[in-house]
Amino acid sequence: MSTLDTLVSLAAIWVVACLTPGPNVLFFAATVLSSRRAAVLAAAAGILTGTAIWGLSGLLGLFWLFEAVPMLALAVKIAGAAYLAYIGFRIIRQNWRAAPLAAIDGAVRPRRDISPRRAFVTGLLTNLSNPKSLVFVTSLFAVTHLARKPLAVGLAGVGLMLAISTLYYVLCAVLLTAAPSATNGPLGRYVSIGVGALMMAFGVRMGLDR
């Protein structure tokens, strides 16, 4: 398989992976619905940093660490499940009571402050909370034969993943902010509460998954 074919295959599979709903996009959506642009950018940066870490880990073959120490994978899974459930609970708690309306980046929406630093850390940890991401990335590199290519090609593949993910989150932010009826007033609160409930469900499911 040529280098171009490898990168095209990688891009196609990664697009599908991005379009599959998960904790990353749920947290990002909750941030877009309630926070200022600086926090939204920080949340995206945190998620993308996690993607880079998983990509480089898969490229360097670090999956062997989980195979060599199964208890480590179990500990990461349990901690990640608990963290996702906690983030979901916190989102629900923040939105349960009516928040004061504020002008957020040109739109009037309920304001539930989250600092850019906290948004970055939460986005990063949300992405890193699922050890199956490393399994997926490792499998992706194996299927597309990226792991057999020179390191420069592998790094280009990771860069392509980041570029696609960045475009995806930009589009998500544009679509969410373009629908003020879904983000203003009580409806915005209900949407955020639903996002929190889904985050908790992801955490419970991951914790029970064998």
- Across 121-125, 131-135, 141-145, 188-192, the highest mean pLDDT is recorded for 121-125
pLDDT reported for residue 10: 93
pLDDT reported for residue 180: 53
Q: Each residue of 82-115: pLDDT tens digit?
A: 988 998 898 888 777 655 555 444 554 545 567 8
Average pLDDT, the chain: 83
Residues ≥6 apart with Cβ < 8 Å to 25: 169, 172
8-state DSSP, 62: T
Per-residue tokens: 198:
């889904």
As a 3-state breakdown, the chain gives helix, strand, coil percent values, each rounded to 5, of 80, 5, 15
Q: Each residue of 34-82: pLDDT tens digit?
A: 778 899 999 999 999 999 999 998 888 777 777 777 787 778 888 888 9
Amino acid letter at 9? Answer: S
Q: Which range marks the domain in which residue 33 is found?
A: 3-208
pLDDT reported for residue 125: 92
- Across 65-74, 115-124, 175-184, the highest mean pLDDT is recorded for 115-124
% of residues, the chain, pLDDT over 70: 86
Rounded CA-CA distance 57/27 in Å is: 23
Question: How many domains does the structure of the chain reveal?
Answer: 1
pTM: 0.83
pLDDT reported for residue 74: 79
pLDDT reported for residue 55: 92
CB-count exposure of residue 44 (10 Å: 0-12, 13-18, 19+): buried
Phi, psi of 21 (to 5 degrees): -60, 140
CB-count exposure of residue 21 (10 Å: 0-12, 13-18, 19+): exposed
pLDDT reported for residue 108: 47
